[in-house]
Amino acid sequence: MAASREFDFIVLGPTGFTGKFASRHIYKTFPTNLKWALGGRSAQKLQAIVEELRSLNVDRPAPEIITLQLNKSELDALAKRTRLIINCVGPFHLYSTPVVEACAQNGTHYVDISGETPWLKKVIDEYHEIAKQNGALIIPACAFESTTADLMTWLAATHARTELSAEPGETIGSIHELRPASLSGGTAHSLITMLESLKVSGALKSAGITSLASPTAPPPPKRPSQSLIELVLGVRAVSDLGTLTTSPAKLADESVVYRSRSLMPQLYGPSFSFREYLRTRNVFTGAVFHLTLVIGLALLLFSPFRWLFRRIVPGPSQALPELERKDGQVQFRVLMDTTSTGPTGKARRVLSSLAYPAGPYPFSGVSVASAANVILNHENDIKKIAGGAGFLTPAVLGQHYVDELEKNGVRIDAKVIE
């Protein structure tokens, strides 16, 4: 990529909830010699964000302001001006396809906070080869969905290889703690509009765990069967993780993890499988949550229930005050079986964990900004790991990403247990 581009990176959508967190983090922690800008449709709203950043009293220049419409011509011109775009504009299936197209065609790196699996499948199918040919690193889902699951699974597999010289096997991811668990207005709006725009055929194509996987990768092994209780009530007990129920991020996270497996098959190996859950207090609360989630999503397929849902949740530009609570917490754990056995003959497993002392939206702001910083500093390393450019995953950022997150207050660990 030409080093003569005007900007190192541009944040699109900094007026949204997660976009504000990302912009604050960048302003407080990024090197002051990087040139960046905020991009959006309203100069007045962008200026308000700049004034908010200046109030943080950080000794660095404020970002520039670029007003634009999200159409092909203006986005194409924008992509030519910058090395990288951090995209926080959702719903992604409504607004962000032209952003991805502009980055892929102009060799501009790209990260985002999307968790919309059907949209990801669409843009991967359409733009992966174009991005690869032009040297663009396109890494979506660098937020709570799906950095936590994807990076911790990568870390567990790496630990199994380096510490045990063992093959990864059955792997279970768990959202161990999530406070607060409320949705912002933007997230709720994305869910509703995605359900409205999704045809049955498209839903089926994007529902499988390999929907985002590289078509050239070998198919994964069949996952271990689930018990009747789990199939009906959505609950299971796992040693070292506790009582687990259905994860609301299951589809997004599992599909990204399996894309990572398809991009790095030698690391994950032929026996690797992955399922994600949510830790719960007991079997009863887990069953209630599972049934509520399943029934709720089924009802949202019908327009009267979507109409009602819209009137219950905040509007697209609103965020609940509790989402900025100081006592928030994000914890994610991954438990991986391996082919190694200990002195007692018991199988050794790897437990990896991630924790951040704030909620999922502040974490998403830190994680997407950290991913961008890794790309800016380690572009060649990433392309070497991935075998080139194109649509990659948070896991491909590897140890550089772990180090960047730890530098910014995220606690990450991996250990061997029997």
Bridge partners, residue 64, by sequence: 37
**337 three-class SS:** strand
Are 281 and 178 contacting, i.e. CB atoms less than 8 angstroms apart?
no
The strands making up 411-417's β-sheet, listed across from edge to edge, are 236-238, 242-246, 273-279, 168-179, 329-341, 347-356, 411-417
How many whole angstroms separate alpha carbon 362 and alpha carbon 367?
9
Mean pLDDT of 308-331: 67
Name the DSSP letter for residue 34: -
Nearest alpha-carbon partner for 340 in 161, 201, 85: 161
Q: Distances from the Cα of 250 to the Cαs of 50, 149, 186, 418, in angstroms?
A: 36, 10, 19, 27
Q: What is the pTM of this model?
A: 0.93
Check residue 195 and give its pLDDT.
Answer: 66
| Residue with tokens 């990176």, as numbered in its chain | 9
pLDDT for 196-223, tens place per residue?
Answer: 676 545 555 666 899 999 998 888 999 9
Q: Which residues contact 261 (CB under 8 A, 6 or more apart)?
A: 213, 217, 220, 268, 272, 274
Tokens of 47: 């200026």
Q: Distances from the Cα of 123 to the Cαs of 91, 105, 177, 364, 386, in angstroms?
A: 14, 13, 31, 21, 18
Tokens of 210: 């390999």
Confidence of residue 326 (pLDDT cuts 50, 70, 90): low
Secondary structure (DSSP) of 233-271 = H--EEETTTEEEEE-TTHHHHHHHHHHHHHHSHHHH-TT
Let me know how long the chain is: 418
> Which domains does the chain carry?
7-143+361-409 (3.40.50.720), 144-360+413-417 (3.30.360)
**325 three-class SS:** coil
Nearest alpha-carbon partner for 169 in 51, 337, 49: 337
pLDDT over 80 (residue 243): yes
pLDDT for 169-180, tens place per residue?
Answer: 999 999 999 987
Are 114 and 393 contacting, i.e. CB atoms less than 8 angstroms apart?
no
How many whole angstroms separate alpha carbon 9 and alpha carbon 320?
29
Nearest alpha-carbon partner for 359 in 319, 399, 407: 319
How many whole angstroms separate alpha carbon 226 and alpha carbon 106?
46
pLDDT for 387-409, tens place per residue?
Answer: 999 999 999 999 999 999 999 99
Check residue 18 and give its pLDDT.
Answer: 92
Alpha helix stretches (DSSP H) within 140-236 = 144-164, 185-197, 200-207, 228-233
pLDDT for 109-125, tens place per residue?
Answer: 999 999 999 999 999 99
Dihedral sign for Cα 312, 316, 318, 319, please.
Answer: positive
pLDDT for 362-388, tens place per residue?
Answer: 999 999 999 999 999 999 999 999 999
What does the angle CA 91 – CA 93 – CA 97 come to, to the nearest 5 degrees?
Answer: 115
pLDDT over 90 (residue 188): no
How many whole angstroms separate alpha carbon 227 and alpha carbon 211?
24
